[in-house]
Amino acid sequence: MKRLMSLTLITLLGLVLGPLAAHSGEHQMGAVTHSKDFERMKELAGVWEGKADMGKGMETIKATYELTSAGNAIVERLFVGQPHEMVTVYYDFNGKLVMTHYCSLGNQPHMELMNPGDKDMTFILSEKSPNLSSVRETHMHALKFSFDNKDSFSQTWTLYEKGEKKSDVLIKLARSKS
């Protein structure tokens, strides 16, 4: 009788603990392979300073790049500390670098890298999932990174309004020494 109860208890414990042990293994960190473009973006981690004309004359810009989500996303903050501070999150999706821009315009356009592996990077609004109410609303439609060297690059943001290109904004940034 004792042996039957012990065997029953062991079987019940196995039935209860087995799935729990298998489930806990799903959350263990494994090696994730990122695109070369994502790896290149990781090199921007840190603080950057520069200038841009946002329509009201030249203004000083502070930007930061931070690796987050166990190394699977890069958070860019533009105009840090300004009322129009914006956040862009870069990440790999199906092996390709993509981004979502949380704009001061109040929308979140989703863009895809159009030229993987090139010296410069050009992101264009995703046709499959633009993440906008309408592509006719005012939104950032494209972003081009032009890399000078490891301590200097520029961004060109392309603004669309009513489905048409309205303007480009050039932001030149240099790695902060402080």
Query: Cα separations (Å) of 44 from 16, 39, 41, 78, 156?
Result: 47, 10, 6, 13, 16
Residue 39 CA to chain centroid, in angstroms? Answer: 12
More confident residue, 112 or 22: 112
d(CA 121, CA 11): 57
Residues 6+ apart with CB under 8 A from 5: none
The pLDDT tens digits of the residues spanning 42-98 come to 999 999 999 988 777 888 999 999 999 999 999 999 999 999 899 999 999 999 999
pLDDT of res. 55: 76
* Residue whose token pair is 């520069």: 50
The mean pLDDT of 91-119, rounded to a whole number, is 96
More confident residue, 88 or 2: 88
Task: List the domains of the chain with CATH numbers.
Answer: 36-175 (2.40.128.20)
For residues 178 and 158, is the Cβ–Cβ distance under 8 A? no
Encoded tokens for 46: 């840190």
The pLDDT tens digits of the residues spanning 5-15 come to 555 555 544 55
The pLDDT tens digits of the residues spanning 132-171 come to 999 999 999 999 999 999 999 999 999 999 999 999 999 9
Q: Where are the beta strands (DSSP E) in the chain?
A: 46-53, 58-68, 73-78, 86-93, 96-102, 110-113, 121-125, 139-149, 152-161, 164-175
d(CA 49, CA 174): 5
For residues 124 and 112, is the Cβ–Cβ distance under 8 A? yes
pLDDT band, very low/low/confident/very high, at 39 (cuts 50, 70, 90): very high
Residue 114 CA to chain centroid, in angstroms? Answer: 15
Q: What is the dihedral of CA 19, 23, 28, 31, to 10 degrees?
A: 100
Nearest C-alpha neighbor of 61 from the set 46, 75, 80, 36: 80
pTM of the model: 0.81
